[in-house]
Amino acid sequence: MVGVSDGPGPAPAADGETAAQPLLSLALVSMMHEVHAHSGAVYLLRTDEPVLQMAVHAGMPRAFAAPWERLGLSAPLPVADAVRERRLVWVAGEDEMARCYPRIAVVLPYPFALAALPVATERRVYGAVFVTWPGGHAPELTDAERDHLWAACERLALRLERSASRPRPPGPEEDALASSVAGAATVAETLGSVEAARLVARLPYGLMSLDLHGRIGFVNPAAAELLGRPARELLGTPLWASVPWLNDPMYEDRYRAALISQQKASFVALRPPGDWLWFRLYPSTTGLSVRVSRARSVTDTPHGVRQAGPGPSRLMAISQVLSLAGALTEAVGVRDVVQLVWDEVAPAVGSQAMAILGSEGGRLRVLGHRGYRNPHIVERFEGLPLAERTPGTQVLGTGVPAFFDSRAHLERLYPSRHETPDGFAAWAYLPLIASGRPVGTCVLAYAEPHVFPADERAVLTSLGGLIAQALERARLYDAKHSLAHGLQQALLPHSLARLPGIEAAARYLPATHGMEIGGDFYDLVPARPLAAAVIGDVQGHNVTAAGLMGQIRTGVRAYTTVGQAPHEVISSTNRLLIDLGAELFASCLYLRLDPAHGRAVMARAGHPPPLLRRPDGKVRVLDLAGGPLLGIDASAVYPTTEVSLAPGSVLVLYTDGLVESRDVDIEDALADLGGLLADVGDQPLESLADEVIRHSVAARERTDDVAVLLLRARDDG
């Protein structure tokens, strides 16, 4: 890598001129040189949208960072975090990357460290930078490295600020890679001397050099013979493209791993029809040296050497994992997460069963499982104290994954597993870590013994990070849903009071968006001498709206009980809402019922008008006098209207969620509701309530809460 001084730099260009040198490339390469990083990139923040666009990449092929060419500021990625939070983001290695940024670890499951910083002045953010180091970097940045990185980013930000007013402000630049040898380079040029070339040519094993793009810059005769291609056809071409039997993503993955980690790597490949070759890769910041030799036997190859084998390649699994990442964003509850892991992850990694475990109150929880012939084997762990020594509790407690390639391996470490055979022969226990803490364990079980190589362990650990984030969101959603459901049920009447001369039925449907909690309410108040009914709708769909609804309902009951007239009940409730200072409004319809005299007195505060079905089957929308919504004007007046309520009459009270729809005009919706009441309004009230809900287009869409209260006058004499 070439070091470039990042001193004062060239004098600013005159107006109308562009900088003579590539500003971003020089700044990036200089920064990398100062801290001995081996790759990096500069992002520029677009002015028209919250997007970071990669402007230049250095040290490695841009293809390695291709998934992150453009990324939104809200993306859970180091560069976006650095910009949003105006801080240095440090990721010490592959384990931390898998825990904190699984999207990156899935695609690049290699040992490397990364730092990301914002490029910003006090007034403006211009973009961000990331740089990476090989896997041998210390767990923490030194003070000198931090100072160099911050100083370089500040200098770059000032230069971008000065350049912003130019006709052509800085934009994308050519990537800064070490020059590579392409085409038919001579051996003497490659190695420096003819005598050295002769020495290499006489060696009995093959030698090659690859540039950062994987192109062959030099190949000796022994390597060309082993590969089965003339040297002139190999030079300047990528190894896996010019040799058909090496055209497997696994081999390209070994090259990527060596370059990114700057650690030697090896693999064994089969040259048809039956010759095994051993490839050893020795990386540097300018490319790779490759030694090729015959392998005595596949079983004789060193431990840890990855061999080609049947089944999907790791990169094919990655495409499935990326699909899983998108699918998991759609998971709402824990059940959805369990099902998606079973549908997407298990097939991708070849697992025949899976379970997701969590914890609550110091005990293990089985959140879901699939694929076990005897479900009791998994469910018996429900409620197990976390102090018990089992693979699931250990992984959940420590956050460290565990892989068991055989039953003997598992039972050697956990003898108690003799007592709970599940019929499987290998297991991966993945910690589900979100927001820096374990939230569960994902268990993947295999029907046959299964070896877990290092790169597969990295992919599985990254999968655990993706699942953990989805699980954390899902458990939060389930908790909120449970809270919302419990609160709503507590605030609405468990059953309708029995009123003399009145039959009642009610329905409530929460909206299907948000927390499924809202401010719609209804109630019957068996006060003396006359009972009352009320229906209303508090603005909003949240806990505040629901809590305020409960206070309004309580207030209405209290004002009714002390004998206030209908207009006084509404006025008092209005003042109560204003005194509470909630800054929310509410609609309300209040009725004082007098079935003995065949009448009802109503007061309305901005609420939709009720419908009345008379005993002869005719239906009309009641045009009631009324006042403004509750909570607006403390001095508002709410006039009352008396309505005839002969025996057999049906009053339909509702909230706007029943009749307001994007596709149907409210007048048409009321007309349809009236037609329904005319046709079937004489059936039992509970059945009629179901018909009203089923018939409503708005109720099927459920974009808002729906409350319905039906009242039928009857002759009890």
pLDDT in tens, 304-347: 444 444 333 443 345 455 566 666 666 667 888 888 888 877 87
**Which residues lie closer than 8 Å to 171 by C-beta, 6 or more apart?**
44, 55
What's the pLDDT band for 197 if we cut at 50, 70, 90? low
Question: SS3 string of 338-388?
Answer: HHHHHHHHHHHHCCCEEEEEEEECCEEEEEEEECCCCCHHHHCCCCCECCC
Q: Is 229 helix (H, G, I), strand (E, B) or coil?
A: coil
pLDDT at 299: 41
Contact 660, 671 (CB under 8 A): no
Mean confidence (pLDDT) of the chain? 81
42 backbone dihedrals φ, ψ, rounded to 5°? -115, 130
pLDDT at 8: 37
pLDDT at 253: 76
Evaluate if residue 490 carries a pLDDT over 80.
Answer: no
Whole-angstrom Cα distance, residue 446 to residue 464?
17
Contact 173, 24 (CB under 8 A): yes
pLDDT at 546: 73
Whole-angstrom Cα distance, residue 168 to residue 398?
53
The pTM (predicted TM-score) of the whole model is: 0.47
Range in 56-65, 170-179, 226-235, 371-380 with the lowest mean pLDDT: 170-179
Instruction: Give 310's DSSP letter.
Output: S
- pLDDT tens readout for residues 111-125: 899 999 999 998 899
Range in 3-12, 154-163, 405-414, 695-704 with the lowest mean pLDDT: 3-12
What are 533's strand-pairing partners?
A: 524, 591
Question: SS3 string of 232-270?
Answer: HHHCCCEHHHHCHHHCCHHHHHHHHHHHHHCCCEEEEEE
- 283 vs 480, higher pLDDT: 283
640 backbone dihedrals φ, ψ, rounded to 5°? -115, 160
- 85 vs 479, higher pLDDT: 85
- Mean predicted confidence (pLDDT) in 245-266: 81
pLDDT at 538: 86
What's the pLDDT band for 31 if we cut at 50, 70, 90? very high
pLDDT at 350: 84
What's the pLDDT band for 16 if we cut at 50, 70, 90? very low
320, 460, 463, 646 from 345: Cα distances, Å? 8, 9, 8, 65
104, 348, 376, 446, 480 from 337: Cα distances, Å? 21, 16, 21, 20, 17
| Dihedral sign (CA 642, 644, 645, 651) | negative
- Mean predicted confidence (pLDDT) in 356-362: 86
pLDDT at 12: 40
* Element holding 561 (H helix, E strand): helix 543-561
- pLDDT tens readout for residues 178-189: 443 333 344 444
- 57 vs 303, higher pLDDT: 57
